[in-house]
Amino acid sequence: DIQMTQSPSSLSASVGDRVTITCRASQSISSYLNWYQQKPGKAPKLLIYAASSLQSGVPSRFSGSGSGTDFTLTISSLQPEDFATYYCQQSYSTLWTFGQGTKLEIK
């Protein structure tokens, strides 16, 4: 199976900060990488697909980059509603896998 490793596992930041979350795959996954946001008690929400494509309706302060094994999710200017847990997910192999998550907390 392809292992997905996110860093950091948790992060404290302030409103207005620029934040970057990293996701590394155990082997090349081309650009088959998606990012999700999950708030407590809610279902995940797709933010970015195919590594860098913004899902419809998602604010432009979210962006994704990378290919191969290394990927990043960037939030350009944190808003109060962005404090949540973020997951990467690969769909390159027939067995999909998620990263362990990054919890973004208010400083």
Instruction: State the residues that interact with another protein by CB under 8 A.
Output: 1, 31-32, 34, 36, 38, 43-46, 48-50, 55, 85, 87, 89, 91-92, 94-101
| 33 beta partners | 90
- Our CB check for another protein shows the closer of 14 and 81 to be 81
Q: How far is the CB of 36 from another protein (least distance, A)?
A: 8
Residue 92 in contact with residue 36, Cβ under 8 Å?
no
Alpha-carbon distances, residue 104 vs 1, 2, 32, 45, 90 (angstroms)? 27, 25, 24, 15, 21
Cα(104)–Cα(106) distance, integer angstroms = 7
Q: How far is the CB of 104 from another protein (least distance, A)?
A: 14
Q: How far is the CB of 61 from another protein (least distance, A)?
A: 19
> Count of CB atoms within 10 A of residue 6's CB?
19
- Our CB check for another protein shows the closer of 52 and 74 to be 52
Q: How far is the CB of 39 from another protein (least distance, A)?
A: 12
